[in-house]
Amino acid sequence: MRRNFAITLAIGCLTIGWAQSASAAPRILTRSEWGADESLLLTTSEEQKQAENQVPADEGNSVAERVKQCTEAQQNYPQEFRAARTVKENAQGGKLRWPQSYSPSVKMIVVHHTAQTLRDDPRTPLERMRALYLYHAKTLGWGDIGYHFIIDEDGTIYEGRAGGDNVIGGHAYCANVGTIGVALMGNFETEEPSQIQVLSLQWLLKNLTNRYGLDPQHTIKFHGDPKEVIVGHRDVVSTACPGYFLAGVLNQVRQHVANGDITAHVSFPPPLNENYVDRTDARRSERLKTLKIDLTAPTLTVIGDSSVPVRPGSQVTVSLLFRAGGSSVQRRARIASVMRSSQRIGIWQLLDQENMRIRQEIFAPRLIHEGEVETIRLRIQVPEIPATYSVDIGPVTITLDAQGRRTRSPVSEPVPMTSTETDRINIPTPGAQRATQSSISSASSVSSPLIRIRLTTRETGAASCSAYDLASLKNHYRGAVTCTVIGGKAALINDVDLEQYLAGLSEEPDTEPYEKQRAFAIAARSYAAFYLDGQNRKFPGMPYDGDDSPARFQSYAGMSAERANPRWVRAVKTTAGQVLTVNGGIVKAAYFSSDDGRTRTPAENGWKNFPFAEVFVSKADPWCTGLPLAGHGVGMSGCGAKGQANEGKTAEQILQYYYPGTTMEGLTK
């Protein structure tokens, strides 16, 4: 679907999401970009899961009456339930758990909420997206997510149901054929959607109506009844979805889309009566009970086959699916015991983007709420002796058939895993792995100084440090978080290792090409390290080196950025300590979002006495032609780096293009 709707902003070091200009567009993440586990689409049995007329989890309990109404509609309007075609296998011949049927045409767009309360939810939007996918695909047994698009509170849009244009979803009981389902993250019975979320909804609806030739101002006949082209879920079936607050602004949204005024804000209705009782969780529990899913006991199952062929001495990645039972599971709580047939079997679990060696148990990687699901990723290394080995993880037994030529592993630690990595991959050949491990492990051997970052985005303007919960903030940032008073106001400062600081930058998310991320990691390190020199202070006289605002320094979000972007963390590690220099001096490697086909010189931007200005001559930037100038225009552009990475250029080649005459060296204290 992305080829029809995706307009991706080159973000460089600027803010992600909607820009200030009216023509800007939100990002759309493809399934691969947000980390959909495509193995859940397939079945290894003859059973086929058809979710076409299943009731989504936020429905009420009048199932019998709805079944009766749907049966009557199918009898009276059979043509509106017929699919144009059905695909039962993927391109590789794997059998789909939920066959992909296609509507002859799209008549209507149905707006939903996910009924996930965002207030006090510590997860990132990306984590919630993956959890929602697992809930539909695994817990409900559908084999995929039912919505076609999902929009988080930051305005990012996620591609949902696999299959492309006109594929039939599972989002509205008895109203899936001929419709597109768009869901907004949140429980809008009790909270309002964010304005940026509504703006992304309006942008997406405008694109969808154009794509499918729909007129938002006209009504249509759907199962014999007149309907708007853009409707809420409650308009096609008896349900609370899309929630009081979102349903209350759909008329405004519909009018904005019809008028082409998709940047207009909406006015929400007044809060509900204080006596109102939200039954979202109760309805979800009723739904799961109808499906005979036990809510009280946690479960642990393997994703894919439990018998894995592997070369002696090599490693494989195994994914498990954990579902919390009737109570929440705390972060780092014990999930299951581990037993192995040989003590020479090595096991590592991915926790906080690091591989932690597992001895006798595996742990929850995050706070997992009641009934939620989470993927547990393990790396297992078998001994070099050919044999059949086994690992028991709670109720799951993984059989490892180690046969064939032996692989001698030069290191004991595994290659770092990412959340979008293929579930079972043999490690590279010994020579290739040696090179990878050398660069990854170098972070601990290079000289990495401390940097002090002022957390202005966390400050409220309070005059006293007593206004801040420093213990809570330390759960969000590595290093130490302290408070001092500057100019009569309390200031929050994070003292952190430079490499850990870089891992917490949120400027180059995992939606960007990996070589672009590597290039920006080196440039960002150079920029920050330049200001650690006492002669180059960015904030002279202040007790900090940088600021977490991209307008003043770099966009820094701490551990939340690390968790959301494991590939970026890997890019930082594989370039650990590397900075750009000229004659031994560190280059202030400026970078920005996009230009109109050429970069600018420091003089054009009004920067006098810019260090090593000869590096920053104006350069042709054809990968950005047709885009607006977004940012200062000096140095490396985000659009150009992305274009070159997509052409196969390495980070080193990209950096040499934008910073000619520089040398890459290791950072010294």
Residues 396-418: pLDDT tens digits?
Answer: 888 888 888 776 543 344 444 43
Question: Which one-letter amino acid corresponds to residue 546?
Answer: G
Q: Which DSSP string corresponds to 206-272?
A: HHHHHHHT--TTSEEEETTEEEESEEEGGGTSSS-TT-HHHHTTHHHHHHHHHHT-TT----PPPPP
Whether residue 380 contacts residue 316, with contact meaning beta carbons closer than 8 Å, is answered with yes
Mark whether 69 and 170 lie in a shared domain. Answer: yes
pLDDT at position 24, please? 52
Average pLDDT, the chain: 81
Picking from 407, 427, 443, the residue at the C-terminal end of a domain is 443
Residue 589: inside a domain = yes
Mark whether 268 and 309 lie in a shared domain. Answer: no
Nearest to 563 by CA among 151, 152, 122: 122
Mark whether 268 and 314 lie in a shared domain. Answer: no
Mark whether 392 and 450 lie in a shared domain. Answer: no
Q: Is the pLDDT of residue 7 over 60?
A: no
Mark whether 242 and 317 lie in a shared domain. Answer: no
Picking from 287, 320, 355, the residue at the C-terminal end of a domain is 287
pLDDT at position 17, please? 37
Residue 294: inside a domain = no
Give the residue carrying structure tokens 């993880």.
393
Residue 207: inside a domain = yes
Mark whether 146 and 223 lie in a shared domain. Answer: yes
Mark whether 50 and 172 lie in a shared domain. Answer: yes
Q: Give the three-state DSSP class for 448.
A: coil
Residue 39: inside a domain = yes
CATH number (domain holding residue 386): 2.60.40.10
Residues 53-63: pLDDT tens digits?
Answer: 443 434 444 45
Residue 625: inside a domain = yes
pLDDT at position 113, please? 93
Mark whether 120 and 71 lie in a shared domain. Answer: yes
| Least confident interval from 235-249, 333-347, 361-375 | 361-375
pLDDT at position 666, please? 85
Q: Is the pLDDT of residue 388 over 60?
A: yes
Q: Which DSSP string corresponds to 332-399?
A: T-EEEEEEES-TT-EEEEEETTEEEE-SSEEE-SS-B-TT-EEEEEEEEE--SS-EEEEEEETTEEEE
- 221 CB contacts (<8 Å, ≥6 apart)? 227
pLDDT at position 209, please? 94
Mark whether 184 and 280 lie in a shared domain. Answer: yes
| Least confident interval from 66-75, 147-156, 473-482 | 66-75
Reported confidence tier of residue 102, pLDDT bands at 50, 70, 90 = very high
Mark whether 34 and 140 lie in a shared domain. Answer: yes
d(CA 495, CA 323): 37
Residues 519-548: pLDDT tens digits?
Answer: 999 999 999 999 988 888 899 889 899 999
Structure tokens at 193: 């959607």
Number of domains in the chain: 3
Residue 292: inside a domain = no
Q: Give the three-state DSSP class for 553.
A: coil
- As a whole number, mean pLDDT of residues 276-287 equals 60
Whether residue 231 contacts residue 211, with contact meaning beta carbons closer than 8 Å, is answered with no
Q: Is the pLDDT of residue 47 over 90?
A: no
pLDDT at position 309, please? 83
H/E element holding 646? Answer: helix 638-646
Mark whether 326 and 374 lie in a shared domain. Answer: yes
Which domain range does residue 161 map to? Answer: 2-287
Residues 473-494: pLDDT tens digits?
Answer: 888 899 888 898 998 899 999 9
Count the residues in the chain: 669
Reported confidence tier of residue 668, pLDDT bands at 50, 70, 90 = low
pLDDT at position 273, please? 66
- As a whole number, mean pLDDT of residues 436-448 equals 35
Structure tokens at 520: 């920006």
Q: Give the three-state DSSP class for 613.
A: helix
CATH number (domain holding residue 14): 3.40.80.10
Residue 317: inside a domain = yes
Q: Is the pLDDT of residue 615 over 90?
A: yes
Q: Which DSSP string corresponds to 57-122?
A: TT--S-HHHHHHHHHHHHHH-GGGG--SEEEEE-TTSPEEEEEEEE-S---EEEEEE-----TT--
Half-sphere exposure of 23 (CA within 13 A, CB side): 3
Mark whether 243 and 370 lie in a shared domain. Answer: no
Structure tokens at 394: 């709670």
Picking from 254, 287, 320, the residue at the C-terminal end of a domain is 287
Residue 154: inside a domain = yes
pTM beyond 0.85: the answer is no
Whether residue 333 contacts residue 364, with contact meaning beta carbons closer than 8 Å, is answered with yes
